[in-house]
């Protein structure tokens, strides 16, 4: 699958039944062919009575295609998971849990919220490569809102907090390639160096606005573009375009980000941004990651580890 996403009609034809979906996940989970966890045999048959279960042709061991993955223990049909992944990946801005609930006809908001939270986990490909070549870096603040605050802050504007975010943007021949966004604790050297270590290849050339927090990078070549009083968006055009898009998106789709889940939202933004020219790849990536990422507990989803 590449280029434009499947049309909804094509999608529904291709993933019409639980069997179609299970077969697709089977291929995504075992790209080099099935290997029985008990005896190593390479052949298995779909179990007649149990959903998504494959039975080893040699020893009879039963293995579920979703066991231990993001979809572990889900009561939702695979067709519904697939449709959710399709909608989330092919929508240019993404969907809120409320929109997903109504699109899928789900009975509860909580189910839609958890489904979306699990799909967001699948938006970060395990072992993804570091940004390389020429990489712009910068930091910004973004407003967040509390549980019952209106999106624009209303009377409580002064109570709104700020979340600190760092961005790295890989560029090539005057074009923006891939980005990474992380919530950071502060704009100090330790936080910014830590962010660069996690996201940028040691061989890259890092361009910053000359802020002292970027000084003396251990590995990367550092190009501090301090040009008098020139505004940062001229020195670092790409990273500033990302920040501007991020802020518009956060307000438009989610009516302001909530502090607790900021990293998950940033991961979603990065996922969509990096596949802006190939949204069909997004759908395949989501499902491939969904069967390769270990299961998350309910608490991991609702109370994520603070990152900043």
Residue 65 CB, nearest approach to Zn ion (Å): 15
Kindly report the CA angle at 186 between 184 and 191, in degrees rounded to 5? 60
Which of 14, 61, 258, 279 touches Zn ion (CB under 5 A)?
A: 61
Q: Name which of 39 and 98 has its Cβ closer to Zn ion.
A: 39
Within positions 31 to 60, which residues make up the interface with Zn ion, using CB under 5 A? 36, 38-39, 41, 56, 58-59
Q: Measured between alpha carbons, how far is 138 from 218 in angstroms, rounded to an integer?
A: 17
Instruction: Tell me the site size for Zn ion, rule CB under 5 A.
Output: 8
Residue 45 CB, nearest approach to Zn ion (Å): 11
Pairing of strands 62-64, 53-56: antiparallel
Q: Measured between alpha carbons, how far is 171 from 193 in angstroms, rounded to an integer?
A: 20
Residue 34 CB, nearest approach to Zn ion (Å): 9
Phi–psi pair at 140, nearest 5 degrees: -150, 175
Task: Confirm if 134 and 170 have CB atoms less than 8 A apart.
Answer: yes
Task: Confirm if 168 and 180 have CB atoms less than 8 A apart.
Answer: yes
Q: Measured between alpha carbons, how far is 195 from 136 in angstroms, rounded to an integer?
A: 13
How many Cβ atoms are within 10 Å of 103's Cβ, its own excluded?
A: 15
Q: Name which of 37 and 146 has its Cβ closer to Zn ion.
A: 37
Q: Name which of 39 and 234 has its Cβ closer to Zn ion.
A: 39
Q: Name which of 26 and 249 has its Cβ closer to Zn ion.
A: 26
Q: Does 233 bind Zn ion (CB under 5 A)?
A: no
How many Cβ atoms are within 10 Å of 2's Cβ, its own excluded?
A: 7
Q: Name which of 62 and 99 has its Cβ closer to Zn ion.
A: 62
Residue 37 CB, nearest approach to Zn ion (Å): 8
Q: Name which of 58 and 79 has its Cβ closer to Zn ion.
A: 58
Residue 52 CB, nearest approach to Zn ion (Å): 17
Task: Confirm if 215 and 239 have CB atoms less than 8 A apart.
Answer: no
Stretch of residues binding Zn ion (CB under 5 A), selected from 25-33, 61-69, 149-157, 271-279:
61-69
Residues near Zn ion (CB under 5 A): 36, 38-39, 41, 56, 58-59, 61
């Amino acid at each position: 699958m590449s280029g434009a996403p499947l049309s909804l009609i094509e999608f529904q034809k291709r993933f019409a039944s639980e069997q179609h979906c299970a077969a697709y996940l089977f291929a995504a989970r075992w790209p080099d062919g099935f290997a029985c966890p008990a005896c190593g045999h390479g052949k298995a048959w779909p179990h007649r009575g149990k959903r998504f279960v494959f039975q080893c042709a040699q020893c009879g061991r039963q293995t579920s295609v979703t066991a231990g993955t993001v979809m572990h223990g889900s009561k939702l049909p695979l067709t519904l998971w697939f449709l959710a992944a399709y909608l989330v990946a092919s929508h240019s801005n993404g969907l809120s849990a409320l929109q997903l609930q109504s699109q899928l006809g789900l009975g509860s908001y909580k189910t839609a919220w958890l489904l979306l939270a699990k799909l967001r986990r699948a938006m970060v490909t395990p072992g993804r490569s570091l940004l390389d070549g020429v990489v712009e870096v910068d930091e910004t603040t973004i407003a967040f809102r509390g549980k019952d605050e209106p999106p624009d802050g209303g009377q409580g504007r002064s109570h709104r907090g700020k979340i600190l975010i760092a961005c790295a943007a890989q560029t090539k021949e005057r074009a923006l390639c891939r980005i990474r966004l992380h919530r950071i604790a502060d704009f100090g050297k330790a936080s910014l160096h830590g962010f660069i270590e996690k996201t940028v290849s040691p061989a890259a050339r890092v361009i910053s606005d000359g802020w002292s927090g970027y000084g003396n990078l251990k590995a990367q070549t550092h190009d501090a573009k301090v040009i008098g009083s020139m505004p940062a968006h001229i020195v670092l055009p790409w990273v500033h375009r990302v920040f501007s898009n991020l802020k518009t998106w956060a307000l438009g789709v989610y009516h302001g980000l909530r502090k607790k889940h900021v990293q998950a939202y940033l991961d979603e933004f990065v996922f969509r941004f990096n596949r802006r020219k190939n949204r069909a790849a997004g759908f395949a990536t989501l499902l491939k990651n969904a069967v390769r990422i270990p299961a998350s507990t309910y608490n991991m989803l609702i109370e994520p580890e603070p990152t900043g």
